[in-house]
Homo-oligomer: A and B are copies of this chain.
C-alpha cells in the first residue's frame, strides 16, 4: 500500500472514524483504524463492534486532487497514535506506505514516522447490508429528531431497551420516542421511503449521539437502511453502522394523557430561566422544584434546600385555564424538555398533581414532552 494524501482531508476522516474506535476492547485490533487504498480512493474504518464508521476519501473532488494512490492495499494502525501524528504533520501532504511486512511509514517534510501496523485481514468485516428498502431524511432534520429525543433515554442498564430511542416508521411518517420511565420525549416527522414496509426498532442512544456529532448541518439527504439487527446511515462519504437493541420497546401511547385539567400557556424563555434559577436550590438528587398557579394569570416557581435557603418567583403566563394546581417535578427534566422544544410559547397540560403532564409547543403537535411529577405536596 502506498499513497500521498492531503493532510487536512485525512485528518477530517480520521476524526470521524475515531469516534467509533473503542479505547478498551476485548479485540485489540479494534483499537486501530483500518486504512484501505484502492483505485478509487482511500477508505478509513473505525469500530467498537456496536458502532462502525467508514469514511471514503475520493481521488479527487471538484477537480482538486486529494489522493494519489501509487499501490493499493490495506493496513490497520493504532487509532490514538495515528490521529495525533496526522494532527502534527509539518506539511500539507503526507505519504503513507506499508514496507517490510506491516511496518508503515508516514512521511511529511523531514519527519518520518514508522508505525507497527496490524494485518488488515484480521479486521472484522462490516455488516453487509442490502440497500433494497431505503428511507431518506434531510441531514438537519435527522439531527433535530435526535436532539429532541435522545436526552430522555435511560442511563441505567436495568432495562437495556430504554437506553435506546424507539423509531417507528410507516405510512410516510417516523415517530421517535425516548423514555427513562420518569419522562418521555416524542417527535414525529414526514419521511421519504421507496418501500411500503414499516419498521419498529430501537437504536442505542449512544449511537445516535455519535452519529449526530459527525453529521454536518446541510439539508443533503441521509439514506437509512434498517435490517433485523443493524441500521445503516449513509451520506456522501460516510457509512455509519449501529447495532439495534433487542427486546420489545414498551407501548408508551397509553402514558400520554388525552385530557387535561389545567392548561398553562407561557413564554418558553421566561419559564426556562425561572426554572433554571429554582433548580439552583432544587431539593435532593432529583432537584425538585414546585409550581403552583396564582390566580388566573401567574404561576409561582419555588424550591428549597432546608440547610441552604430557598427561592420563589412569580412568572406571568399568557393564559391559565382550568383547575388550581400545585405540583412538584425534577427541574432538570423540565429544562431538558424546554430546551428540546421549539417556539416562543409553550403549553403545559396538567391532569392533577400526581399524573404525568404534557409540554408542547403552542401550535405544533409534531413533538411532545411528558414528565412524571414527584410527590411532595
Contact = CB atoms under 8 A, between A and B. Distances in A.
A271 to B, nearest CB: 12
Interface in A40-95: 78, 81, 84-85, 88-90
A309 B114 contact: yes
Contact of A277 (B90, B115, B280, B313): B90
Contacts of A88: 273, 276-277, 280
A310 interface: yes
Contacts of A111: 274, 277, 311, 313
User: How many identical chains are in the complex?
Assistant: 2
A114 B310 contact: yes
Given A274-B111, A277-B88, A116 B309 contact: yes
A121 interface: no
Nearest to A85: B280
Interface residues of A, number: 32
A274 B274 CA distance: 53
Nearest to A302: B112
Contacts of A273: 88, 90
Contacts of A309: 81, 103-104, 113-116
Given A81-B280, A110-B315, A116 B274 contact: no
A309 B314 CA distance: 64
Contacts of A315: 110
A157 interface: no
A312 interface: yes
Nearest to A309: B115
A239 B281 CA distance: 31
A312 B106 CA distance: 11
Contacts of A307: 116
A112 B308 contact: no
A7 to B, nearest CB: 13
B313 A110 contact: yes
A274 to B, nearest CB: 7
Nearest to A274: B111
A107 to B, nearest CB: 10
Nearest to A105: B309
B113 A310 contact: yes
Contacts of A85: 277, 280, 311
- Count chain B CB atoms within 10 A of each CB in A113, A274, A311, A312 and give the residue with the most: A113
Given A109-B313, A112-B313, A113-B311, 20 more contacts: A78-B308, A81-B281, A88-B277, A90-B273, A103-B309, A104-B309, A110-B313, A110-B314, A110-B315, A111-B274, A111-B311, A113-B277, A113-B281, A113-B310, A114-B310, A114-B311, A115-B309, A116-B307, A116-B308, A116-B309
24 contacts: A81-B280, A81-B281, A81-B308, A84-B280, A85-B280, A85-B311, A88-B273, A88-B276, A89-B277, A90-B273, A90-B277, A103-B309, A104-B309, A110-B313, A110-B315, A111-B274, A111-B277, A112-B312, A112-B313, A113-B281, A113-B309, A114-B311, A115-B309, A116-B308
**Which 7 pairs between the two chains have the least Cβ-Cβ distance?**
A115-B309, A111-B313, A113-B311, A84-B280, A88-B277, A114-B309, A110-B314
Interface of A: 78, 81, 84-85, 88-90, 103-104, 109-116, 273-274, 276-277, 280-281, 307-315
